[in-house]
Structure 1
């Protein structure tokens, strides 16, 4: 049994990722502060405060979604360490959305790390994280610095495989309007049409999602990898 754990499914990449996972894994367990309006026979949605995910009674929460006992084998396989578990995180926001740098750090760093620790405790051997093309813990840009610190702290958790995906400007249907990104998209989108500068031209949300899933299912070696935006476009073809 191969199981996917995923956080951040309400976001642009996260929604695409969820659809990719449902067609590729035996079961998908999505965690978040609220459930999505989506139903699937192999999807379990656990909701709660992600900052406290390591203290969740996940077995009880799973049973709540399994009134007919359809997820009993899933629970047993996880508890008995018989399931192969891959974890994915596309959690992220903006400083404007978060309201402050402190709150932004809590979401983009703390919640990701808490989720990763929980996944590791459940037996996840692989962790795939949607970072940013400018991720650098020493960056003077707070956004890039936070992403870099998150990457570094994920490395310390010791997953058998850690994939750090660094997309450039994302294209897709966002739930909120971002003026800066709209302007950048208009300026940069011709690079997509002309197929120029793969690592800096915009990338579609579904391309990132495909790259995440295909990488998770194909990597067996103990390693930490940084996957560039250009590499994601190649993987997702």
Structure 2
């Protein structure tokens, strides 16, 4: 059986690391990366599809894959998806900040609507597992807008009833971001002693590659739970 990974958010902090983990593992025959633009990366097992993510539901994804398959090397991908014989795992690390998005409405459109749209598309293609990068304080009843949106996204993902839904809730993320975030820089400096002394595992900062490695390991593991919340501490344990 062909094993396929669908991934969105590959240009982001965790997404880039996750793509690296999936390619390195050799456990997936093909990886379909869905994004607004292609990465400057080539790999025999990587298929990059670009377009307006808000219109993902209407993408002619089959023709997009065929266009990338000049010698027909991706025909097995199309055949296995259309015949529902592929094992498909979907990964979403889509996310932004209100400052980058420009408003609460635009933030919601990205952090909620795009994630849910990707989940719906993945479900339609036959994904059995969906793994999502949420946030430590995710709570649909939170008075904090960011946490509330993350919580609502988690709740709406549950409605798809994937065979397995993994909700990853990292604490403050450490890594090389494309954009400067002063607040995170200050918080990181203040919380780094927690890493030095290896205390408060669930709230101390976690590296982007640790989250990515934990997601890759979890996706390839068997779980008795249909919905699982993975804390920042658990991610650090998994990624050792």
Instruction: Sort the TM-score into its range (normalised by shorter chain).
Output: over 0.9
Look up the SS of the partner of 1:36 in the other structure. Answer: coil
Is the Cα–Cα contact under 8 Å of residues 88 and 127 in structure 1 kept in the other structure? yes
- Is residue 18 of structure 2 the alignment partner of residue 17 of structure 1? yes
- Is residue 64 of structure 2 the alignment partner of residue 81 of structure 1? no
- Is residue 220 of structure 2 the alignment partner of residue 217 of structure 1? yes
1:193 corresponds in structure 2 to 196
1:202 corresponds in structure 2 to 205
Residue 118 of structure 1, CA deviation: 0.2
Residue 193 of structure 1, CA deviation: 1.5
Given the two structures, how large is their TM-score scaled by the length of structure 2? 0.97
1:95 corresponds in structure 2 to 98
Unaligned runs of 5+ in 1: none
2:115 corresponds in structure 1 to 112
Shifted more, 144-153 versus 51-60: the winner is 51-60
1:88-237, aligned counterparts within 5 Å?
88-237=91-240
Out of 39, 44, 48, the position equivalent to 2:42 is 39
Is the Cα–Cα contact under 8 Å of residues 116 and 154 in structure 1 kept in the other structure? yes
Residue 191 of structure 1, CA deviation: 0.8
Q: Which runs of 4+ in 1 moved over 3 A?
A: none
Is the Cα–Cα contact under 8 Å of residues 160 and 221 in structure 1 kept in the other structure? no
Note the alpha carbon deviations across 1:32-81, whole angstroms, 9 max, x for none.
Answer: 11111111000000111111111111110001111011101111111111
CA distance in 2, matches of 1:72, 1:2: 14
Look up the SS of the partner of 1:76 in the other structure. Answer: helix
Residue 219 of structure 1, CA deviation: 2.4
Residue 220 of structure 1, CA deviation: 4.5
CA distance in 1, matches of 2:214, 2:39: 23
CA distance in 2, matches of 1:176, 1:222: 37
CA distance in 2, matches of 1:85, 1:54: 18
1:49 corresponds in structure 2 to 52
Given the two structures, how large is their TM-score scaled by the length of structure 1? 0.99
Residue 190 of structure 1, CA deviation: 1.3
1:68 corresponds in structure 2 to 71
Unaligned runs of 5+ in 2: none
Look up the SS of the partner of 2:120 in the other structure. Answer: helix
Residue 31 of structure 1, CA deviation: 0.2
Note the alpha carbon deviations across 1:150-179, whole angstroms, 9 max, x for none.
Answer: 000000111000000000000011111100
CA distance in 2, matches of 1:12, 1:37: 15
CA RMSD of aligned residues (A): 0.8
